[in-house]
Structure 1
């Protein structure tokens, strides 16, 4: 059995998979508000699994954050009570299990690389385009983490080919830099561009509804965002040359992207006959917890 946890700010989701990826058991619980209660909650959920299904040896955990390679302690977690803690060591002691932890975007990419939209690919880049803009890289069904545990976090690189006349200036990113990719191609970034330019107050779904209706301003905004997305993903292709780029998050629901984006990328890719494959995630919101379960394997 493969046991995975997806740790969020409000909920903890657990899934148990078979070696073939079949879901054997699911469980959701609210996320506790402090560290001691968190350790107890994970132990209780695991006891529930063993009582219903049987013994298993290890667990995988995905969450927004990472284990610092130098200290071995958690950093940048959205559940702030985890930061600065030896989460792996403490969970191993509390549960008696082997524990592996990865960033949620990495778990998303791993899930889709093993048996999702990137199944069969050697190199898979997974991008979550929602409130923010995260990414993960999987090679031969193994997550690439990096020396600083930030591999795949291309959303806080500068937008490639940034031009203030066409891309505009929508202010400083929360990370302290300006013109980050995340500020343009995430769901919130796309909306921020449109609202800043047209003095509106719409979200990305409302803007895309206007695009579908043929609204001239919205169509122009979509074409600009498409070009920004093409530049951003082409920069990944020119370095990694992935077999598949898998999209998740709210922006992955824009159906026309899967036809428009590959051709838009072609002019930015260093190849005479570029081959670009962009697919929507197969498992959607469940990719994170499934990827965490595959970590256990």
Structure 2
């Protein structure tokens, strides 16, 4: 029996999963990411969690998904504002630690692939709304990577208050419609500094400020979805991530209105595991297509 390992490093939490050949979940664990603690502390936590699995199971393929921008060919996290990581050689660090070559994949590209294998929709886009906003594109049943950082939907122009983004531009979408934006806006309106989870719960029970914020966020996202539709003309746009789980967001009138533009929208129902599953499916697909062994996985994935 072969096993496959994946890690999903997000701005708020990091998840790891181990799956067997039939994609049955053997292990799933989460830890808080806490970017303020720095890269090394999080990596040490991951080494500890993953180490026990690598000791117990014969891992045939492994991958890490994290926010971009990435240098996929070198396996390096270039400059991710979500994590505060700069030029971190993630692939080399993990490969040397565990003696198995790791693939490095944009987290939202992995999420898109995870949605694709479940829905079998050959032309689709995926948008993840979490700490930041990212995306992935499937064209003719294949993940479109561009030069490694395609579908950075969080940096579409959204207009607004001339807010400066970490990417160097102003008024990017994730400044107004991400989990970070929800927390900032709730504080601006109420003076209360709450987590996105707490604000979502308040929205679900009718808190006026929280409901209004989520409806505004939905408006920004709906406009971005229409832009994506105009550019790509996909069969489907799937929306996932923590922000998208709030009922006032999902039920917002903005999503009803965009139907007039021929946009079909669905919300992810994979309980946040689409990135882990997408990473493993992506690695396995390339291993099977190329007829390669575990130690060649990363190189084959990164050449595409």
TM-score of the alignment, normalized to the shorter chain, above 0.5:
yes
Please tell me whether residue 247 in structure 1 is matched to residue 239 in structure 2. yes
- How far apart, CA to CA, are the structure 2 residues paired with 1:85 and 1:133? 21
Give the greater-gyration-radius structure (CA). Answer: 1
- How far apart, CA to CA, are the structure 2 residues paired with 1:150 and 1:179? 20
Counterpart of 1:264 in structure 2 is 257
- How far apart, CA to CA, are the structure 2 residues paired with 1:201 and 1:29? 28
Deviation at 1:233, TM superposition (A): 0.8
Deviation at 1:121, TM superposition (A): 0.9
Deviation at 1:192, TM superposition (A): 4.4
Contact between 2:237 and 2:263, CA under 8 Å: does it hold in 1? no
CA RMSD of aligned residues (A): 3.9
Report SS of the residue matched to 2:273.
helix
- What TM-score, normalized to structure 1? 0.72
- How far apart, CA to CA, are the structure 2 residues paired with 1:254 and 1:93? 40
Counterpart of 1:292 in structure 2 is 279
Counterpart of 1:201 in structure 2 is 191
Seen in structure 2, the aligned counterparts of structure 1 residues 193 and 239 have a Cα distance that, compared at 3 Å, is same
What does 1:76-95 correspond to in 2, within 5 Å? Answer: 76-77=79-80, 83-95=86-98
Structure 2: gaps of 5 or more residues: 285-304
Q: Deviations over 1:187-239 (max 9, x none)?
A: 3334545665xx43356664884696495x77766554433222111111112
Deviation at 1:2, TM superposition (A): 2.4
Structure 1 residues 33-42 or 124-133, which shifts more? 33-42
Seen in structure 2, the aligned counterparts of structure 1 residues 121 and 258 have a Cα distance that, compared at 3 Å, is farther
Deviation at 1:153, TM superposition (A): 0.7
Seen in structure 2, the aligned counterparts of structure 1 residues 112 and 176 have a Cα distance that, compared at 3 Å, is same
Please tell me whether residue 276 in structure 1 is matched to residue 276 in structure 2. no
Aligned length: 274
Deviation at 1:129, TM superposition (A): 1.5
Please tell me whether residue 108 in structure 1 is matched to residue 100 in structure 2. no
Deviation at 1:171, TM superposition (A): 3.0
Deviation at 1:120, TM superposition (A): 1.7
What does 1:59-138 correspond to in 2, within 5 Å? Answer: 59-68=62-71, 73-77=76-80, 83-115=86-118, 119-138=119-138
- How far apart, CA to CA, are the structure 1 residues paired with 2:83 and 2:76? 14
Deviation at 1:24, TM superposition (A): 2.0
Seen in structure 2, the aligned counterparts of structure 1 residues 19 and 258 have a Cα distance that, compared at 3 Å, is farther
Choose which of 156, 159, 174 in structure 1 pairs with 2:166. Answer: 174
- How far apart, CA to CA, are the structure 2 residues paired with 1:113 and 1:172? 34
Deviation at 1:17, TM superposition (A): 1.7
- What TM-score, normalized to structure 2? 0.71
- How far apart, CA to CA, are the structure 2 residues paired with 1:247 and 1:37? 27
Structure 1 residues 282-291 or 228-237, which shifts more? 282-291
Please tell me whether residue 49 in structure 1 is matched to residue 53 in structure 2. yes
Report SS of the residue matched to 2:272.
helix
Seen in structure 2, the aligned counterparts of structure 1 residues 46 and 227 have a Cα distance that, compared at 3 Å, is closer
Seen in structure 2, the aligned counterparts of structure 1 residues 169 and 125 have a Cα distance that, compared at 3 Å, is same
Choose which of 17, 21, 26 in structure 2 pairs with 1:15. Answer: 17
Deviation at 1:18, TM superposition (A): 3.0
Please tell me whether residue 151 in structure 1 is matched to residue 143 in structure 2. no
Deviation at 1:102, TM superposition (A): 0.7
